[in-house]
């Protein structure tokens, strides 16, 4: 009985671990080009933060502008902002990613 309780607690603990949203990396493919980005006024730099520029997101079958915002910097990483790229007649949105600045066997960290 004791082993069953310990196994149940271990399963509950490991089952409740979630991958952080920042670790999720999903590319979006659509047939509609994003409109031109609006002019965005970038605020003055803030110590310990980087500015993530605004980008169009694909929501409910159309492009929706999401304004830029500040995020905490990550020492040893640089931020590559999200961008729309045309590939084979379709539009692909590559999500913003953190890239390790120290070469580590060519592996990209998301």
Domains in the chain, number: 1
Distance, CA of 78 to CA of 21 (rounded, Å): 18
Residue 10 lies in a domain: no
Residue 42 lies in a domain: yes
pLDDT computed for residue 57 by the predictor: 94
Contacts of 50 (CB under 8 A, 6+ apart): 70, 71, 73, 79
pLDDT computed for residue 101 by the predictor: 87
Residue 16 lies in a domain: no
Residue 106 lies in a domain: no
Q: Which of 42, 37, 94, 97 is nearest to 70 (CA)?
A: 42
Residue 65 lies in a domain: yes
| Domain ranges, residue 46 | 21-100
Residue 80 lies in a domain: yes
What mean pLDDT value characterizes the chain?
80
- Model pLDDT for residues 42-63, shown as the tens digit of each residue: 999 999 999 999 999 999 999 9
How many residues would you count in the chain? 110
Residue 11 has pLDDT above 70, yes or no: no
Distance, CA of 38 to CA of 8 (rounded, Å): 53
Distance, CA of 47 to CA of 99 (rounded, Å): 20
């Amino acid at each position: 009985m004791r082993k069953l309780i310990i196994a149940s607690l271990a399963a509950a603990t490991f089952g409740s671990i979630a991958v952080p949203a920042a670790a999720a990396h999903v590319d979006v493919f659509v047939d509609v080009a994003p409109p031109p980005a609006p002019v965005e006024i970038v605020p003055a730099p803030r110590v310990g933060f980087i500015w993530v520029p605004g980008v169009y997101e694909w929501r409910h079958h159309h492009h929706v502008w999401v304004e830029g915002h500040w995020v905490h910097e990550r020492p040893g990483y640089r931020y590559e902002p999200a961008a729309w790229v045309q590939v084979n007649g379709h539009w692909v949105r590559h999500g913003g990613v953190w890239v390790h600045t120290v070469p580590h066997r060519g592996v990209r960290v998301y």
